[in-house]
Chains A and B, each alone.
Chain A
Amino acid sequence: MKEIAIKVDNVSLIFSLSDSGPKQIFRTFFGPLGKKIFGNGRSFTALRDIDFELRKGEVLGLIGNNGSGKSTLLQCMAGIYRPNKGTVYSKEKPFLLAGVGMGYSSRLTGRENILLLGSILGIKKKEIAQKIPELVEFAELEEWIDEPLRTYSSGMNARLGMAGIAYFRPDVLLIDEVLGVGDPTFKEKSKEKIMEMVEEASTVVMASHSFNLLIDICDRIIFLEKGKIKAIGDPQDVVDVYYGRKESDEVAPLKRK
């Protein structure tokens, strides 16, 4: 058994919907008393008792309909959201690649954004400088790297983001639906890059709607429904559960060879 990279321990996350009303102020300041008087307010449970372990080098897929909590779970695992209940334990520093590109600062140039990203990931300056030419070539952005990010098209932005993680190699990579962007050739290239990372035993969690890709590369898949784990285990089995071809208790816990 390989060691555990991330342990998601019984995590629940609740978003409060009635944010800015005056009642909310009382709830904040008077704690339990405020809640007694004004009620709990409208809220939305995005994640409900999520509990699983991610082993080092494992590739985990996340599937589920829109709004089922895939992105929120990834954000919890990255430490961005603090769960209302439960804890996420982690050995490494996960990095989340979500939405279009990096987009840290649209007024900084591509190069400056990469420098910033590298320093946040704790990579030394020299190392970053060494990697930049390769990275730029991979992203096919030679002419654009010194232009501000606001001038980039969304595809270029996505390529830069993908190139950033491909070359900086965060310990744990959380990918949220980004393989769908870019033109077909680049899509192929980034898939290759991710496969390469998978082979080099990076830990990857990937939320996507492209089931075929997930079945290909994942060791396990989690099927989320309304913030709860409906099924976890062998990729093919879980996708079958998603389509209603199988019951969730028929899923094999690990990938069938």
Chain B
Amino acid sequence: MEGKSEKSYVVLNPPVKFQYGLIEYFRNIMYSKEMMMQFVKRDFKIKYRGSVLGYLWSLLGPILHCMVYYTLIVLIRGGGYARQPLWLFGGIILFQFFRETLEGGMRSLISNQGLIKRIYFPREIFATSNMISKLIFLMFATVPLFPLLYYYGFEINYNQLYVIPAIFGLSILALGMGFLLSCAHTTYADVGLLMKYVLTFLFFLSPILWTLDNIPEEWLELYLAINPVAVFLTMFRYGLDGTALPIGAVIMARAFVTSILILIIGISVFKKFEGSVIRHI
């Protein structure tokens, strides 16, 4: 052999033990950064292809979405909470991001079967690149927030910093849930059908059309403990215009720990079952 070290044999698509799933995941992601960028690009090219307004829809969509719910609130309650359009819009785009990341991750094996059935590469790339492109779309969707902020007025203070961890936490949670459910969904379509309603339910059960003030004091702690999405939504919305947060550091820390745990379990479950689940596609 002339200098070149001999390639060693590898097992393509090797079985991964539950406890090694996380390590394997990060190694694969680091190794396939280039490929992931290609997938993110693909998502962009496809998303609004065939529409006249194109990328304008990433602004228009959330605005229309928001108008639907605003009308609903005005019709039912004859008005709403203070700073309504601003917080409603913030809540809606963030929840939409959560929903799309989760559902995209959950369906990632099925919607990419054309590729999956042709060449082997780590399949966790699909869900992860999906999250990245949804994050970028979220950035687009925040653009209409600025005129709203200008209109309602805002203070610049350290509360604004909460926006970043809110998005970060929600990404972790959505990605983890997506991984956790994707193998189950690939085997049993029931999971996806059920999740559609669970997520709609979660939308109404999270502080989007209402605020945390609507929850009786004695239930608030329990509610925030079981619904980390509500914590992140609140951090995001209050952070937007710099209002002081009604929740303490312990509650936020708990939401983060929950999300990270879900991500770890989700990735481990995914890596454990992903190989055998492909036979069901």
Residues of A that sit less than 8 Å from B by CB: 7, 13, 15-16, 19-20, 24-25, 28, 75, 78-82, 87-98, 102-105, 107-108, 112, 115-116, 119-121, 148
Determine whether the beta carbon of B46 is less than 8 Å from that of A98.
Answer: no
Residues on A with C-beta less than 8 A from B151 are none
28 A/B residue pairs, CB under 8 Å, sorted by A:
A7-B9, A19-B280, A20-B188, A25-B188, A79-B13, A80-B118, A80-B120, A82-B14, A88-B11, A89-B10, A89-B11, A90-B10, A92-B7, A93-B120, A94-B12, A95-B119, A96-B119, A103-B114, A104-B114, A105-B114, A107-B49, A107-B50, A112-B42, A112-B45, A115-B38, A119-B34, A120-B38, A120-B121
Residues of B that sit less than 8 Å from A by CB: 7-15, 34-35, 38-39, 42, 45-46, 49-50, 114-121, 187-190, 275-276, 278-280
Q: How would you classify the secondary structure of chain A's contact residues: helix, strand, loop or mixed?
A: mixed
Determine whether the beta carbon of A20 is less than 8 Å from that of B120.
Answer: no
Residues on B with C-beta less than 8 A from A97 are 118
Residue from the list A7, A20, A82 in contact with B13, Cβ < 8 A: A82
Closest A residue to B39 by CB, please name it.
A116
Closest A residue to B35 by CB, please name it.
A119
Residues on A with C-beta less than 8 A from B114 are 103-105
Determine whether the beta carbon of A81 is less than 8 Å from that of B278.
Answer: yes
Tell me the complex Cα distance, A148–B13, Å. Answer: 31
Residues on B with C-beta less than 8 A from A75 are 117
Residue from the list A15, A78, A107, A115 in contact with B119, Cβ < 8 A: A78
Tell me the complex Cα distance, A19–B10, Å. Answer: 31
Q: A79-B120, A82-B14, A95-B118 are in contact. List 6 more A-B contacts (CB 8 A).
A: A13-B279, A87-B11, A91-B8, A105-B42, A105-B46, A148-B49
Determine whether the beta carbon of B45 is less than 8 Å from that of A82.
Answer: no
Closest B residue to A96 by CB, please name it.
B118
A-B contact count (CB 8 A): 96
- A82 with B42, Cβ < 8 A, contacts A104-B115, A120-B121 known: no
Tell me the complex Cα distance, A186–B78, Å. Answer: 69
Residues on A with C-beta less than 8 A from B12 are 78-79, 88, 90, 93-94
Residues on A with C-beta less than 8 A from B115 are 104, 120
Determine whether the beta carbon of A15 is less than 8 Å from that of B279.
Answer: yes
Residues on A with C-beta less than 8 A from B120 are 78-80, 93-94
- A90 with B42, Cβ < 8 A, contacts A15-B279, A80-B117 known: no
Closest B residue to A118 by CB, please name it.
B38
Determine whether the beta carbon of A98 is less than 8 Å from that of B187.
Answer: no
> Would you give the shortest CB distance from A148 to chain B, in whole angstroms?
7
Determine whether the beta carbon of B35 is less than 8 Å from that of A120.
Answer: yes
Determine whether the beta carbon of B46 is less than 8 Å from that of A82.
Answer: no
Tell me the complex Cα distance, A75–B12, Å. Answer: 11
> Would you give the shortest CB distance from A25 to chain B, in whole angstroms?
7
Instruction: Specify which of B14, B119, B189, B190 lies most central, judged by the most chain A CB atoms within 10 Å of its CB.
Output: B119
Residues on A with C-beta less than 8 A from B11 are 87-90
> Would you give the shortest CB distance from B37 to chain A, in whole angstroms?
8
> Would you give the shortest CB distance from A12 to chain B, in whole angstroms?
13
Residue from the list B14, B46, B116, B278 in contact with A108, Cβ < 8 A: B46
Residues on B with C-beta less than 8 A from A92 are 7
Tell me the complex Cα distance, A7–B152, Å. Answer: 67
Tell me the complex Cα distance, A116–B35, Å. Answer: 8
